[in-house]
Amino acid sequence: MDPAVTSLVVLAGAVALFLWNRLPVGVVAVLTALSLYATGVLGAGQALAGFGDPIVIFVASLFVVSEALDATGVTTWAGQALTDRAGTGRRELLVTIMVLAGVLTAVVSPNGSVAALLPMVVVVAVRNGHSPSQLAMPLAFAAHAGSLLALSGSPVNIIVSDAAAQEGAGPFGFFEFAILGVPLLAVTIALSALLGPRLLPATAAGSSLADLSRHARTLSGHYALQDGFYRLTVRAGSSLVGTPLPGGDPPGLSVLGVQTARGAAHPAEHIIDAGDAIIVTGPAEAVIAFAGARQLDVGLRPVTADALLTREAGVVEVVVPPRSPLVGERVFPGMVRLGEVVILAVRHRGLDRGPRGAVLGEGDSLLLHGPWAVIDSLVDDRDVLVVDAPDRVRRQAVPLGAKAIEALAVLAAMVVLLVTGAVPPAVAGLGAAAAIVALRVVTPQHAYRAVSWQTVVLLGGLIPLSTAISTSGAADLLAGALLGVVGNLSPYLLLLVVFAVTAALGQVVSNTATALIVVPIAVAAAVEGRIAVEPVLMTVAVAGAASFLTPIATPANMMVMGPGGYRFGDYWRLGAVVLVAWLAIALLVIPVVWPLR
């Protein structure tokens, strides 16, 4: 079979599998690459070359950089700063949220910005008496528009820029997309603000998103926290060494308990030894006097609501599961576990035990405080069940957390390299990702988890398809058919058809996959029609971002469906209006900025 025909058959099969939606998109992409090898269209090296393509490396590195901004609280800080100044009106909040989403998407990607801002948007809506459905979908649409503010906004931008470079036109500049992105974002905001109340449903949130921005005060009110307790470590020369536990409390103090050097709560017959810690509460003056008289080292653990969550340390609520080794263990506030985690409070059988502590049973809960790294590790600890994920708590409740300055500095350096073109985009992105890990903004494991491997595999598997369509002559066949429909009527008609095909396919297939499929066809049509490739490729970029009509078009659309209480058919009402407006702006602006001839 002719390679061009074979490539078209593989293309049709890939699109059919995407529409069927029964196989993961990554599997479809890999099957596509393997099919091109099995049919002889591409050699093994070409069929697998997509996974080492600079585009894939650049996209993967951007996930790490965006995760660093989110994990360090930069996105939370930006969201809180703007919403605090936006007022309480629906229109003011909507404009502020959409502007923030658009700007944030330029460096974090649509899916990342929506995931970071959606909890805040729902909470802000509920607090101010607005329906989340009036804000959630505009958030997603603004993120799509924001993806056209910079090269790093979307993999589609990187794909079309690379295609322009391969055709000899040179890559698009880092902020060149903003020539279209700014008016597209503006019109999206305007239509959402003016027509949103009529075209969007006014429903309550379909699924709840926990408001963790006030998590510390919530826990402080739920548990009877002590005003502050002191750990008095017994020195080797202390007069208490070798003596039984004191029968009564020291003057002016209350003894909460004694923790042995091995970490256990003291038994009733315990004899105090060097290294034991006596946990007391009371006035600082009395504590200092007692410690000085008995040769004890003083350690303070503040437990006010404001001190529970900081850049360095956090708090977590855990439940003791069945068969946990903690069952039957006696604990009390002030005990230190895992070396650095302090027990702040204990609830036994649903009741707060206060300073007395308790012998733990199944279902009891503990409030723990310690460094974020240790708190995060409890998620994988089978001895306890974490109630609220520490990662979510930190992102919502700790704006500009630890390493935020380092994350912003790395981002700024990457943008400068991309804007100046000093190094290829893949080198700038990979260097930024490496710096993020080297500066310990995120751990290596965290960086690996941040990468959307589905996107990476999708790109790696479909780049060979794009190559096959270009090199086998399939793109020329499809371009000829496209020009046969358009004829020589007008180059504008070609842009219109390219936009329509790309936008239609992008409503049911990933916009990344759509771009990889459409780009070689669009380039071939431009060449045969003697039209410059830049306007055609920019049309693909705009249409690829115009995923408004269905919730399955992008993960960002799907994310807002539950919290916004939307149904499948709710998207096209506002989405169709925005899509038509985008088409009009594209046809007006693109030929002026990027001449057709």
Distance of alpha carbon 281 from alpha carbon 298, whole angstroms: 12
Percent of the chain residues past pLDDT 70, beyond the cut: 90
The ranges assigned to domains in the chain are 229-301, 306-387
- Residue 484, pLDDT > 60, answer yes
Encode pLDDT of 248-306 as tens digits. 667 777 777 788 777 777 766 678 888 888 888 778 788 888 888 888 888 765 555 55
The token pair at 39 is: 């049919």
Three-state DSSP at 366 gives: strand
The pLDDT value recorded for residue 532 is: 92
pLDDT of 144-165, one tens digit each? Answer: 999 999 998 888 999 999 999 9
Give me the pLDDT at residue 224, please: 62
Q: Are 258 and 278 in contact (CB under 8 A)?
A: yes
- Residue 453 CA to residue 450 CA, distance in Å, equals 9
Q: For the segment 177-209, what is each residue's pLDDT rounded down to a tens digit?
A: 999 999 999 999 999 999 988 999 877 654 455
Predicted structure pTM score: 0.71
Task: With beta carbons less than 8 A apart as the criterion, state whether 305 and 226 touch.
Answer: no
Q: What pLDDT was estimated at residue 246? A: 59
- Give the angle subtended at the CA of 106 by the CAs of 104 and 112, to the nearest 5°: 60
Q: Is the pLDDT of residue 170 over 90?
A: no
Query: In this predicted structure, what is the pLDDT of residue 232?
Result: 86
Query: Residue 130 in contact with residue 136, Cβ under 8 Å?
Result: no
pLDDT higher than 70, residue 340: yes
**Contact partners, residue 268, CB within 8 Å, separation at least 6:** none
- State the chain's maximal CA–CA distance in angstroms: 101
Taking residues 478-497, what's their average pLDDT? 77
Confidence check: pLDDT of 211 > 80: no
Q: Read off the pLDDT of residues 344-354 as tens digits, 9 standing for 90 and up.
A: 888 887 777 76
Alpha helix (H) ranges present in 439-548?
A: 444-450, 453-471, 474-486, 491-506, 511-528, 533-545
* pLDDT value for 581: 97
How would residue 491 be classed by pLDDT, with cut points 50, 70 and 90? confident
Residue 570 has pLDDT above 70, yes or no: yes
Q: Which pLDDT does position 183 carry in this prediction? A: 97
Give residue 245's pLDDT band: very low, low, confident or very high (50, 70, 90): low
* Mean pLDDT computed over every residue of the chain: 83
Question: Which fold does the domain 229-301 belong to in CATH?
Answer: Alpha-Beta Plaits (3.30.70)
Q: What is the pLDDT of residue 208?
A: 52
Average pLDDT on 389-395 reads: 76
State the virtual CA torsion across 151, 153, 159, 163 in degrees, nearest 10. -20
Q: Show the 3-state SS of 221-267.
A: HHCCCCCCEEEEEECCCCCCCCCECCCCCCCCCEEEEEECCCCCECC
- Give me the pLDDT at residue 98, please: 93
Q: Is the pLDDT of residue 82 over 80?
A: no
The predicted pLDDT at position 336 comes to 81
**Which of 120-134, 152-166, 218-232, 549-563 has the least mean pLDDT?**
218-232
The reply to whether 229-301 and 306-387 are identical in fold is yes
Q: How much is the average pLDDT of 529-555?
A: 89
pLDDT in tens, 246-258: 556 677 777 777 8
pLDDT at position 316 over 70:
yes
Which architecture, in CATH terms, is 306-387?
2-Layer Sandwich (3.30)
The confidence score (pLDDT) of residue 303 equals 53
What is the arithmetic mean of pLDDT over 326-332? 85
- Tokens read off for 96: 């502020």
What per-residue string of b and e applies to 382-414 under the rule 16 or more CB within 10 Å gives b? Answer: eebbbebebbebbbbbbbbbbbbebbbebbeeb
Tell how strand 330-331 and strand 336-337 pair up.
unpaired
Q: What is the pLDDT of residue 406?
A: 93
CB 436 within 8 A of CB 62: no
What are the pLDDT digits (tens) for 91-102? 888 999 999 899
Task: Choose between 308 and 61: higher pLDDT.
Answer: 61
